[in-house]
Amino acid sequence: MKVKIQKNHLSLIIALFCLYLAVRYWPTVAKLIGSVTHAAMPLLIGGIIAYIVNLLLNQYEHLYSRTFKTKRAQKYRRLFGIVLSYLTIILILVIVSSLVIPELISCIKLLVANHGQVVNRFVRFIEHNKDLNTLWNSFDLEKIKWNQVGKYLTTGFGGTFKAIISTASSVFSTVATAVVALFFSIYLLIYKETLSRQIKRLINAYLPRLGKHIFYVTKVFNDSYSSYIVGQCKDAAILGIFCFIGMSVLRMPYASMIGVVTAIGALIPIIGAILGAGIGVIIIFAVSPIQAGMFLIFIIILQQLDNRITYPLVVGKSIGLPSVWVFAAVIIGGGIYGILGMMFTVPLFAALYKIIKTDTHKRLATE
């Protein structure tokens, strides 16, 4: 008993000493954490990609197992699932791009054409302005200090050259990160069972008392995030398709592009619908203010139907988070990391809410 108490005291002393060092030398610790996070960013992104693709992979593997039941065919189940999962995502991106890009180019051309008159008026204003003409006529080329001009151009060219190098380096770094993340995600999907067994063995070996709680918390977080991602994607796809169909029936412009924008906006809790509607109104307003008003009425009705019928049926109570906490999660997540923060903090709050709620019931029941 004394040995156990001494070990517990030693662990507490070591933990307090490490905490003191972290607080005392926090700038160095923060810099170290930042360096490690930056170096591991491709792996983190790869893990996120693998988690999302795994949702599709599970469905394809289940379909493959039901279709091909021989042992020989089962050897290719994982390969079949991975290939189809990534091809599905690529196909979705290609379809979305083919729908959005042509209409986006048309919209830009229209905006440029409408604003061409404004540019011509500005040019005519400069030509007929007496003060500007007087200033231009007083401009003497012989008084210019060409040495300073040459020095400025050289410096400017050097700065431009540095900017080009910096941009090229950033693009190359982004591409390299994306490639590493993609291959790492494939590796995780191929060996996910092996990695899962290894992690469980490590937890059972080094944290035997906490193992059960860790597995429970992990399961809750996994269920929360998977339910949120699948449910939100289904609801967003349905909303985008109905938006496209409705706009096509009403003969509104840019139906494909606005349908995609509406679907993407639906992935963002609370403010996503407002953003999608606002962008659609602005785009259509450039063509016809009357149609922009019609679209605003249409999208409000569509979103009300989605909130009351589609969303409860598709997503249901899978998240299990009250509305007030959804709002809090969106505000906090948006303040920390913008739109991505809004999307990731909602299932995080849902998982924490479920864990705390379950633990509270257990503690009250034992009293």
The residue among 279 and 315 whose pLDDT is bigger is: 279
pLDDT higher than 50, residue 245:
yes
Summary mean pLDDT of the chain: 80
User: What does the pLDDT read at residue 81?
Assistant: 92
Q: How sure is the predictor about 149, in pLDDT bands with cuts at 50, 70 and 90?
A: low
pLDDT at residue 195, as a whole number: 92
Is residue 166's pLDDT more than 60? Answer: yes
pLDDT in tens, 323-364: 777 778 878 888 887 777 877 888 888 888 888 888 888 888
**Rounded to the nearest 5°, which phi and psi values hold at 75?**
-65, -25
Q: How confident is the model at residue 85 (pLDDT cuts 50, 70, 90)?
A: very high
Is residue 274 within 8 A of residue 218, CB to CB? The reply is: no
Which residue blocks in 191-206 are alpha helix, DSSP H? 192-206
Q: Which residue has the higher pLDDT, 141 or 48?
A: 48
For residue 119, give Cα distances in angstroms to 123, 124, 285: 6, 9, 20
Residues 6+ apart with CB under 8 A from 146: none
77-128 and 146-190 helices, crossing angle to 10°: 160
Which carries the bigger pLDDT value, residue 220 or residue 168? 220
Which 3 state secondary structure label does DSSP give 25? coil
State the chain's maximal CA–CA distance in angstroms: 98
Q: 263-286 pLDDT, tens per residue?
A: 888 887 767 777 888 888 888 887
User: Which of 134-138, 242-246, 276-280 is least confident?
Assistant: 134-138
Distance (Å, rounded) from C-alpha 80 to C-alpha 92?
A: 18
Cα distance between residue 85 and residue 269, in whole Å: 26
Long-range contacts of 208-215 (CB under 8 A, 24+ apart): none
**Exposed / middle / buried, residue 50 (Cβ in 10 Å: 0-12, 13-18, 19+):** buried
pLDDT of 234 strictly over 70: yes
Q: Which of 299, 301, 308, 309 is nearest to 262 (CA)?
A: 299
- CA–CA gap between residue 274 and residue 266 (Å, rounded): 9
Element (H, E) at 49: helix 41-67
Q: What is the pTM of this model?
A: 0.75
| Per-residue pLDDT at 114 | 62
Tokens of 319: 């998240």
**322 or 261, which is more confident:** 261
